[in-house]
Structures are given as structure tokens and as C-alpha cells.
């Protein structure tokens, strides 16, 4: 068991570092400013047009998903703010976790859009740019998912702690009694 936890902690440290170094490496590679335009076939130009619309659709979907989540989060927060509930911190954490999940989904849509844009006859620079973008978004998604998991873990452990303390008080026959 300790060996597996060591492996997990090394992975949690080394994966982001490797992604950051990969991003820096991809951004430092410069293929050349001059881009030789090759003659493209009519089919390729039609494919580029169709794929361009699909990529724009993926970007619009990402914007709609993220925008909807932001509006929903604001409305939930305002409703929670003006309610007389004492669970302000717990519901704020719930709203934050929901927004984080949707942001991760929005990042996936934008990665799909970038992949679509480079799908038809990419140049070497296009592929390097795509690699840098995908690495950056993967890094963002990794940290976002990690924070969501930590938030869900702390959130799930808190009710158990309260529930266990209630059970302990309820099962203890001396609880509630005072000593003379």
C-alpha cells in the first residue's frame, strides 16, 4: 500500500512538470515564418470549409456550456445568499464544484475544436501549435479535475464525520447526563 501511495504522489508531481516542460519545448520550436502554400484540390478546400464550420460549432458549444454554467452558478449563489440557510459554505462549495465540472467539459469542447481545425492538411507549425494548445488545456484540465476530486473528497468526508458523531452521541447511554 505505501508503495502505491508513493507512486501516486510521484505521478501527481511528475505529470504536471512533464506537461509544463513539453509545453515550453513545443512553444520554443519555430519551424519558420515562411509558409509555402501548396496547391490544394477543390475537395480539400471544401473539407476545410466544412471542418471550419464544425470547429466553430464546437467553440460555440463550449461558450454555451460555460456561459450557461456561469449563469446557473450566479443564480444558485444569489438564491443561497438571500436564503436563511446556515449551510452557506457547503452550498458555495457545491456551486464551485459544479462550475469546475462544466469548465472541464468546456475545455474538452475547445480541444475538439482545435483538433478539427488542424484535421485537414496541417503544416508542421499547425501540428506544433495544436500540440502546445492541447498540452496547455490538458494541464488546466488536470489541475481542475484534481481540485474537483479534492473538493468532493472533503465534502463526502464531512457528512460522515457529522453522522458518526451523531451516532456516537446517540449510542452512548451516558451522553446528555451530567455528573453530580
Of 68-82, 100-114, 159-173, minimum mean pLDDT range? 159-173
Percent of the chain with pLDDT over 90: 15
pLDDT tens column, 100-153: 889 889 988 988 898 888 887 788 888 888 888 888 888 888 888 888 888 888
Per the CB < 8 A criterion, the answer to whether 114 and 132 are in contact is no
Cβ within 8 Å of residue 90, ≥6 positions away: 155, 158
Q: What's the pLDDT band for 1 if we cut at 50, 70, 90?
A: low
The kind and range of the H/E element at 55 are helix 42-82
Count of Cβ atoms closer than 10 Å to residue 58 Cβ: 20
With CA atoms as reference, report the closest residue to 148 among 89, 82, 103, 101.
101
CA 71 distance to own-chain centroid: 18
Cβ within 8 Å of residue 73, ≥6 positions away: 95, 98, 99
User: What pLDDT score does 168 carry?
Assistant: 44
Average pLDDT over the chain reads 76
Strand ranges inside 12-98, DSSP E: none
Question: Backbone dihedral region of 171: left (phi > 0), alpha (psi from -120 to 50 degrees) or beta?
Answer: alpha
Amino acid at each position: 500500500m505505501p508503495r502505491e501511495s508513493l507512486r501516486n504522489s510521484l505521478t501527481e508531481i511528475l505529470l504536471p512538470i512533464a506537461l509544463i516542460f513539453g509545453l515550453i519545448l513545443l512553444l520554443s520550436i519555430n519551424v519558420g515564418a515562411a509558409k509555402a502554400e501548396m496547391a490544394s484540390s477543390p475537395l480539400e478546400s471544401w473539407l476545410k470549409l466544412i471542418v471550419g464550420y464544425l470547429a466553430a460549432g464546437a467553440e460555440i458549444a463550449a461558450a454555451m456550456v460555460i456561459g450557461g454554467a456561469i449563469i446557473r452558478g450566479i443564480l444558485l449563489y444569489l438564491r443561497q445568499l438571500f436564503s436563511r440557510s446556515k449551510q452557506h459554505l457547503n452550498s458555495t462549495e457545491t456551486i464551485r464544484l459544479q462550475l469546475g465540472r462544466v469548465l472541464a467539459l468546456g475545455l474538452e469542447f475547445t480541444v475538439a475544436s482545435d483538433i478539427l481545425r488542424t484535421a485537414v492538411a496541417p503544416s508542421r507549425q499547425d501540428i506544433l501549435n495544436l500540440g502546445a494548445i492541447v498540452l496547455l488545456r490538458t494541464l488546466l484540465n488536470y489541475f481542475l479535475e484534481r481540485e474537483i476530486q479534492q473538493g468532493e473528497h472533503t465534502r463526502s468526508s464531512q457528512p460522515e464525520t457529522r453522522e458518526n458523531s451523531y451516532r456516537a452521541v446517540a449510542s452512548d447511554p451516558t451522553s446528555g447526563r451530567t455528573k453530580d
